[in-house]
Amino acid sequence: MVNQNGSIGTKFLTVAIIAIVIGSIVVSGAFYTVRSGEKALVFTWGEITSVSDEGLHFKIPIMQTISKVDIRTQKAEAPAQAASKNMQIVSTVLTLNYHLDQVKLRELYSTVGLDVENKIIAARIQETVKAVVARYAAEELLTMREQVKNEISESLTRQLLDYNIIVDAGGVQITNFDFSKGFNEAIEDKQVAEQKALTAKNNLERIKVEADQKIAQARGEAESIRIQADAIRAQGGKDYVNLKSIEKWNGQLPTYMGGNAPIPFLDVR
């Protein structure tokens, strides 16, 4: 009898322990935590019934499940290839910073799911780059890159908003446009030619300026001579020159190259 009671007691204890363990598992599975920067979609028998904010929450075991969603800024990057207005093939890589509209997570999940980069963003990037690049000639893409980027950004922002995806301010970045090898060589040759032309133009301008300076200098010297000649004539001509010579005379008479006889200086009459 004792053994039978002991056996029953042991079985009861085992069942109790199992029940406690199962209960603990069930109870622990009834709670979930949503961290900062997340939202949780709550599904009841597979259908979205609510969206939970950050914090500790309760769900009905078995009946309810959750799916956590990151609502912080995400980064998507996609290569894109398009043809310019003058039919040059252009390749680039576009980077997009975005976040999901947390107010419309239920609608977003119901329409496209949560894999928005592969299902929505990559395709929109391709289409938008093709549409915008086709408006510009290849050379314009180089000189008007900022305008091209702004047009792509505005178009993507409008399109993705229809899917409850919000593009961050300044969230669109484009790497350098890459062209075919032949086009790159043509651009380089053109730049070299333009540089040579600019150098030749600058040299011509320099020569012209130098010539103008020489002409101005010659005119100045001629004007100076004319003024001096007018002054001499106004002061009596030859007599004035002799007077100025006397004023500058050091008292010594010049001599001939071959002798010691002085050269007469004054015109003695």
DSSP 104: G
What pLDDT, on the 0 to 100 scale, is given for residue 128? 95
DSSP 36: T
Contact predicate 174/149, CB 8 Å: yes
Query: Which residue has tokens 């040579």?
Result: 196
Query: Quick count: other Cβ atoms within 10 Å of Cβ 106?
Result: 15
What pLDDT, on the 0 to 100 scale, is given for residue 160? 96
DSSP 179: -
The whole-model pTM stands at: 0.60
What pLDDT, on the 0 to 100 scale, is given for residue 75? 94
Tens-binned pLDDT, residue by residue, of the chain (269 aa): 445 666 666 766 666 666 565 555 555 568 899 999 999 999 999 899 999 999 999 888 889 999 999 999 999 999 999 999 988 889 999 999 999 999 999 999 999 999 999 999 999 999 999 999 999 998 888 889 899 999 999 999 999 999 999 999 888 999 878 887 777 666 656 655 556 565 666 777 778 787 788 787 877 777 777 776 676 666 656 666 666 666 665 666 665 555 555 555 555 44
Q: What's the one-letter identity of residue 225? A: I
What pLDDT, on the 0 to 100 scale, is given for residue 193? 58
Residue 170 falls in which region: left (phi positive, over 0), alpha (psi -120 to 50) or beta: left
- What is the C-alpha to C-alpha distance for residues 24 and 98, in angstroms, rounded to an integer? 40
Contact predicate 169/114, CB 8 Å: no
State both tokens at 124.
């929109």
What pLDDT, on the 0 to 100 scale, is given for residue 202? 75
Contact predicate 54/35, CB 8 Å: yes
What pLDDT, on the 0 to 100 scale, is given for residue 179? 82
What pLDDT, on the 0 to 100 scale, is given for residue 15? 66
